[in-house]
Structure 1
Amino acid sequence: MSGPVASARAVGRADRILELVATAATPPSVTAVARALDLPLSSTADLLRELRATGWVRLRGRGHVLGHRPYMLGLLAGVGPPTALTHTDLDALSRAARAPVALAVLVGGQVRYVDHAGPRAPDRLQRVTDDHRPRPPLRTAAGRLLLALGDPEESARALAGVDDPPAVAAYLAERPEIVRTRLARSDGLADPAIRAVAVPVEEGGETVAAAVLTGTRRGRADRSVTLDRAAARLVAALAARSAARAPGPHSPP
């Protein structure tokens, strides 16, 4: 079977898979999805591979959970977030860091900025956040952080799609330090006038997003020190938020 009928069948199967993944009590494996939907195992594996590659689903252990692509489409249409971090929370983090903070996620191998709090950046930079434009992961602090701390399969796929072997090699050499410090930098990689620092936003033991601080590379020589101090304040504020949200000893199960 080929042509429109086969395409329609594939879309229908993908829709059923996404609904199953979204509503499953535990993340279903390829076999569990095929069994639950009475689909051939091979075509189910192929569809899930494509859905992972485009950001619709991602792996959690051996099972599948929704990825960030549905959220990005909802965001473009004006609906709902990938993290419990609200805009009010982000605004509080910006005040604690004493700097603008952007929130970024990795979707289909590209970085997307989903929110921003604090003073606005120059228009040409602010539009990247406001319009949720895709950015190459190795050129952004957020991408470098999320590739190091996020879903390993998504990271490997994103790196495989980068047609710049020296840049990939340089990143792989740097990645252990990113994992150790849980902090990533971009010093003029995306824009020669901009430096950025990204720190992880964690929920349920997973890195679900990156909180990003940016500054200029021009002018004062101590701008990088200022940015590092803001990053330290941001990390402390995120840790305090996590501690406040953690269940206490007398919390209900």
Structure 2
Amino acid sequence: MGNNDAGIAGRTVDGPAAWTDEAVLDETGRRHHRAVDRVVRILDLVVAVPDGMTLTELARELGAPVSSVQKLADGLVATGYLAEAHRRFTLGPAVFSLTHRAASRPPVLSVRHADLERLRAETGASAILAVRVGAESVYMDWASTDEAFSFRISMQSRAHVTETAVGRVLLAHLGPEERRRIVAAHLPAEETVRMLDRLAGIRESGYELGFSGARLPEARAIAVPVVEGGVTVAAVSLTNHRSEVSDRALTAHRRLLRAEAERWAQR
């Protein structure tokens, strides 16, 4: 389990900076709260491990005292958002009740899991659907070509928007002020200029081609925006985690994805 899925300015997933008493202003202008960040991180962790995690494992991943994590875990069990058996914590029934009630209004209406499975079957690449949460891209669904790749995604489903192809597509379609603020808060000045130029290219071309950062260092991805009602609500990528993928294959993937995105926009 890695510690690379943070990336919000002034806040790391692990370590002292994440757990100061003061709320931290992130790159989007929203303030983080220590307890809320911990609760979200706990849920993100246990959902990725089918047989659950122990209190010690959770505390280690959060970089927080066991006593503090115990209080949060007890509260989550009491409210049904965690379940505990044999000293291991898993998702509780309240999570599934909440998702069931929210099923009628998902964040992305036009892209279905069957669409991702079909893209995977046609291309031999993993198809990934992501949305933006603050300054992070979050993988909502995927159809993976192999179990190891799927496991890596499930363990680290968040990344800073500058670090992945889907994230850069989402970032490129924000308003200029918010886009500049997020980039400048995360990158040095020279890299900020280069990133803003890259984002302009994404808006002009309608797609992104690139590597997907430290989390998947060998992966090359093509990503396009998902537009609903004239607004970019998500991004979809075809991710090739074999470095020998040809430029010809990537071009074919780009054409296929753009055609699919146009079809989704009409749903």
Q: Report the CA distance between 1:192 and its aligned residue.
A: 3.3
- Specify the code of the residue in structure 2 equivalent to 1:146: L
Distance 1:127 1:144 in 2: 23
Cα distance per residue 1:65-99 (max 9 Å; x no partner): xxxxx9xx89x635243100222233344445553
Distance 2:234 2:195 in 1: 19
- Specify the code of the residue in structure 1 equivalent to 2:254: A
Pick one of 233, 240, 244 that aligns with 2:263. 240
Matches within 5 A, 1:92-107: 92-95=118-121, 97=123, 99-107=125-133
Q: Work out which structure has the larger RCO, using CA pairs closer than 8 Å and 6 or more positions apart in sequence.
A: 2
Contact 1:188/1:217 (<8 A) preserved: no
Q: Report the CA distance between 1:188 and its aligned residue.
A: 5.9
- Residue 195 of structure 1 is matched in structure 2 by 220
Contact 2:126/2:145 (<8 A) preserved: yes
- Residue 155 of structure 1 is matched in structure 2 by 179
- Residue 4 of structure 2 is matched in structure 1 by none
Matches within 5 A, 1:132-151: 133-151=157-175
- Residue 120 of structure 1 is matched in structure 2 by 146
- Specify the code of the residue in structure 1 equivalent to 2:112: T
Cα distance per residue 1:90-117 (max 9 Å; x no partner): 3344445553210011111011111002
Q: Report the CA distance between 1:224 and its aligned residue.
A: 3.0
Matches within 5 A, 1:199-218: 199-216=224-241, 218=243
1:89 aligns with 2:115: yes
Distance 1:242 1:163 in 2: 33
Q: Report the CA distance between 1:235 and its aligned residue.
A: 1.4
Q: Report the CA distance between 1:161 and its aligned residue.
A: 2.5
Task: Sort the Cα spacing of 1:128 and 1:182 in 2 relative to 1 into closer, same or farther, 3 A.
Answer: farther
Distance 1:237 1:148 in 2: 20
Contact 2:227/2:233 (<8 A) preserved: yes
Distance 1:187 1:109 in 2: 19
Cα distance per residue 1:191-246 (max 9 Å; x no partner): 43221111011100011101011114633xx5232122112112112223333x2x
- Residue 249 of structure 2 is matched in structure 1 by 226
Q: Report the CA distance between 1:53 and its aligned residue.
A: 3.8
Distance 1:208 1:116 in 2: 16
Which protein is richer in helix relative to its size?
A: 1
Matches within 5 A, 1:63-78: 77-78=95-96
- Residue 12 of structure 2 is matched in structure 1 by none
1:110 aligns with 2:110: no
Task: Sort the Cα spacing of 1:188 and 1:119 in 2 relative to 1 into closer, same or farther, 3 A.
Answer: closer
Task: Sort the Cα spacing of 1:218 and 1:94 in 2 relative to 1 into closer, same or farther, 3 A.
Answer: closer
Q: Aligned-pair RMSD on alpha carbons?
A: 3.2
Distance 1:240 1:96 in 2: 16
Q: Give TM-score, length-normalised by structure 2.
A: 0.55
Q: Report the CA distance between 1:175 and its aligned residue.
A: 2.1
Cα distance per residue 1:106-149 (max 9 Å; x no partner): 1110111110025236x2x4335324532122121111111111
Distance 2:175 2:122 in 1: 29
Q: Which blocks of at least 5 consecutive residues in structure 1 are unaligned?
A: 1-48, 57-69, 246-253
1:165 aligns with 2:198: no
